[in-house]
Chains A and B, each alone.
Chain A
């Protein structure tokens, strides 16, 4: 089945550090990848939609200058948390949808990575 690899799985760093998280689709091409943030006991919150070869689409309230997204290829999207602060500590999860799902795209599942636990001290 479709596999999405997310790296690193855990990051602990000092306030002010920039952190890059990678999301790779291992055995399929993903025109679109999604980045989510999940706080304890909360649902996944969509941060942005990453489109290969174009700018990401950010959800309302998400600072695009703080959460930089690059989707340079059909199998890789990166999320960079710039100048991270303790309030940015969270569980970040990416997902990808199989390319070319056409009219029935909504019935194709999003395949999720295993997440990155970010802790800012």
Chain B
């Protein structure tokens, strides 16, 4: 069964500090891994996408890493801002063949950035 586990479940940090969110997955056959940011009461917005051959990808203050061997990914946020407060969801895509694929969602990490 495909699964995506995220940790921690929730995190509180001071504004300006860095933090790292973790994602472990057991999804096969792996196609890609995407991190989404979901503000309260809003739909998820894609931050980064990682394919099998990529180890690191940055999007502004967000840096995602992928270790396909250990099936782990992380999302590092530098110099956090109050607007970073949101849930961060790890989503792994499995190739179902014939041009279709299945997404498995993690439960998310709820990040709270406080002044």
Contacts and interface: CB of A to CB of B under 8 A. Distances in A.
A115 B41 contact: yes
Task: Say what secondary structure dominates the interface of chain A.
Answer: mixed
Contacts of A78: none
Interface centre among B4, B44, B103 (most CB of A within 10 A): B44
Interface residues of B, number: 24
B20 interface: no
A43 B42 contact: no
A6 B44 CA distance: 13
Contacts, number: 50
A91 B44 CA distance: 12
Interface of A: 4, 6, 41-46, 91, 93, 95, 102-103, 105-107, 109-115, 117
9 contacts: A4-B43, A43-B4, A43-B89, A43-B106, A44-B44, A91-B41, A106-B32, A112-B44, A114-B41
A107 B41 CA distance: 26
A61 to B, nearest CB: 15
A105 B101 CA distance: 9
Nearest to A113: B43
Interface in B82-113: 89, 93, 95, 99, 101, 103, 105-108, 110
Given A41-B110, A106-B32, A115-B43, 5 more contacts: A106-B31, A107-B32, A107-B49, A112-B44, A115-B42
